[in-house]
Amino acid sequence: MFLCRTVGNVIPPQGEMPGGVSATLEYAVEVLKVKHVIICGHSDCGALRAILPSNRNETLARLPLSARWLGYVEPAWRYLDPGVNREDTHALHTAMIHANVIAQVDNLKTHPEVARGIAMGTLEVHGWYYDILTGAIEAYEERERRFVPLETAVVGS
pTM of the entire structure? 0.92
What span, in angstroms and rounded, lies between the C-alpha atoms of 62 and 59? 6
Q: What is the percent of the chain where pLDDT is above 70?
A: 95
* Position 146 pLDDT exceeds 70: yes
pLDDT digits (tens, 9 = 90+) for 131-142: 999 999 999 999
- The secondary structure of 39-93, three-state, reads EEEECCCHHHHHCCCCCHHHHHCCCHHHHHHHHHHHHHHHHCCCCCCCCCHHHHH
pLDDT computed for residue 56 by the predictor: 67
